Amino acid sequence: MNSTIILKGNILYTPNPSALVSIQQGYVIAVDGVVVHCGESIPTVYTEYDVVDYGDNLIIPGFVDTHAHAPQYCNRGLGMDKELLPWLETYTFPEEAKFIDPDYARLVYGAFVHDLWRNGTTRSILFGTIHKDSTLVLMELLQKAGLSAYVGKVNMDRNSPEFLIEETNQSLADTKVWLDASAQFGPLVKPIITPRFVPSCTSELMTGLAKLAKEYDVPVQSHLSENHGEIDWVASLHPESSNYTDVYYEHHLMGTVPTVMAHCIHLSDVEMDRMAETQTMVSHCPYSNVNLSSGIAPIRKLIERNIPIGLGSDISGGHIVSMAKVLTEAIGLSKMKWAEVDPNYAPLTLSEAFYMATKGGGQFFGHVGSFEKGYELDALIIDDTSLFDLNERSLEERLERWLYVGDDRHIIERYVAGRVVPSPKG
């Protein structure tokens, strides 16, 4: 029997980056978790069904975080005066080593998953650690919470601390065992192949991971062009490749399966062409780029090249889980790029940033992040009545105001694939 749900309220979504659709007291109808109608009235065929009426509240798509490091959750807000490589050595690697203990992982991941839920992140693309058992714990907790994610067991077999490095063949063998075990979690929680970044992965490892990605038909995530020191390091490690992007491409980690690359701040025009050719998604992580002094990604230029873009919290390079705040930071950073660096590229609009935080990142999951017909129903119900304002505001203004000055306390309900998702903590 089909499961039909009808939500009523003030609906806002972005079918494309320049169109912020708003429907006052509208209806979104889903059958078996998939939207069949969104509009001002209920089609006759659905008039006999109950309506969940959210009154004057806002109904928006759930947020999508396209890049976060779940094991770094305890480190958020630390080491923000360091650049990328010293920060990794001082904070990140010692913390991730603790995840050899699945019990430790369960405590940290439990808190992290609850924070995703609390902030309305209904879908996420996550790094775990090199430890397959702890990565399975993260997947288990996400599944139990009713949230959707791609989760990666990290791979690193060179240029890493002795306490956090793998032997190449063992890394590939563990990844295969983990991929087989991951089958128990679908369809909302799935694996993603995760070479940490080029400096920490030999050619042999990258080639083996690409073969596994193709064999298991799973996507790939990694980092690309985050920091000048990192880029120079890659050039010294791979003089046979013309640029950082092509190291991934030549190892078949781009262009064969869907791929998302975090940061992409310092790409050359040639590299952007490669990203567009392979339709590799950029995960733009504004808080992290500021905190680690990495730079300002050329988002407008990437948009004009028709490169898919999502937003990432990049916990813990970024210090805030809330994608509402990540998207407003992305707007602010684009303004600084325009004002101080390159006046040829206009800042992001609210509609564009909201699109990136919903449908833009959601496309990595398929038809996710919108209320268009055929999209999975991920939704947040926002009660913004406590945000003091004596003036009458449009729905667009209310959304903007909540994104900038509201917080998770205003999210009163969350839906993933048409199901209400209660607090993971009960």
**pLDDT for 426:** 58
Asked if residue 1 has pLDDT above 50, the reply is no
Six token digits for residue 148? 């959707």
**pLDDT for 175:** 98
Distances (CA, A) of 211 to 137, 234, 424: 25, 22, 36
Dist CA 141 CA 185 (whole Å): 10
Rounded percentage of the chain residues whose pLDDT exceeds 90: 96
Q: Which of 38, 40, 43, 31 is nearest to 13 (CA)?
A: 38
Alpha helical stretches, state H, 337-416: 350-355, 361-362, 395-405
Residue range 73-83: mean pLDDT, rounded: 93
Mean pLDDT for the chain overall: 97
Question: For domain 63-365, is the CATH number 3.40.50.20?
Answer: no
Instruction: Check: CB of residue 298 under 8 Å from CB of residue 254.
Output: no
Dist CA 50 CA 53 (whole Å): 9
Residue range 85-112: mean pLDDT, rounded: 95
Q: How confident is the model at residue 186 (pLDDT cuts 50, 70, 90)?
A: confident
pLDDT digits (tens, 9 = 90+) for 94-103: 999 999 999 9
Dist CA 189 CA 110 (whole Å): 15
Q: How confident is the model at residue 372 (pLDDT cuts 50, 70, 90)?
A: very high
Distances (CA, A) of 180 to 107, 132, 319, 329: 24, 11, 33, 38
Cβ-Cβ contacts under 8 Å for 136 (sequence gap 6 or more):
178, 181, 182
Q: What is the third-level CATH fold of 4-62+369-420?
A: Urease, subunit C; domain 1 (2.30.40)
Residue range 383-388: mean pLDDT, rounded: 97
Q: Which of 307, 200, 197 is nearest to 253 (CA)?
A: 197
Rounded percentage of the chain residues whose pLDDT exceeds 70: 99
Q: Report domain extents, the chain.
A: 4-62+369-420, 63-365
In degrees rounded to 5, what are phi and psi of residue 9?
Answer: 170, -165
CA 89 to chain centre: 24
Alpha helical stretches, state H, 184-322: 203-216, 228-237, 244-250, 269-278, 286-291, 299-304
Instruction: Check: CB of residue 91 under 8 Å from CB of residue 74.
Output: no
**pLDDT for 5:** 97
Instruction: Check: CB of residue 377 under 8 Å from CB of residue 28.
Output: yes
Residue range 383-390: mean pLDDT, rounded: 96
Asked if residue 226 has pLDDT above 70, the reply is yes
Residue range 154-170: mean pLDDT, rounded: 97
Q: pTM of the prediction?
A: 0.98
**What is residue 256's three-state secondary structure?**
coil
Q: How confident is the model at residue 85 (pLDDT cuts 50, 70, 90)?
A: confident
**pLDDT for 84:** 86
Instruction: Check: CB of residue 271 under 8 Å from CB of residue 25.
Output: no
Side by side, the strands of the sheet bearing 63-69 are 63-69, 121-127, 148-152, 189-191
Asked if residue 188 has pLDDT above 90, the reply is yes
Instruction: Check: CB of residue 283 under 8 Å from CB of residue 258.
Output: no
Six token digits for residue 361? 């990142």
pLDDT digits (tens, 9 = 90+) for 277-333: 999 999 999 999 999 999 999 999 999 999 999 999 999 999 999 999 999 999 999
Its sign, for the CA torsion 297, 303, 309, 312, is: positive
Six token digits for residue 296? 């300002």
Residue range 231-253: mean pLDDT, rounded: 98
Helix and strand numbers (H, E) in the chain are 15, 17
Q: Which of 219, 234, 248 is nearest to 126 (CA)?
A: 219
Q: Which of 244, 238, 260, 249 is nearest to 210 (CA)?
A: 249
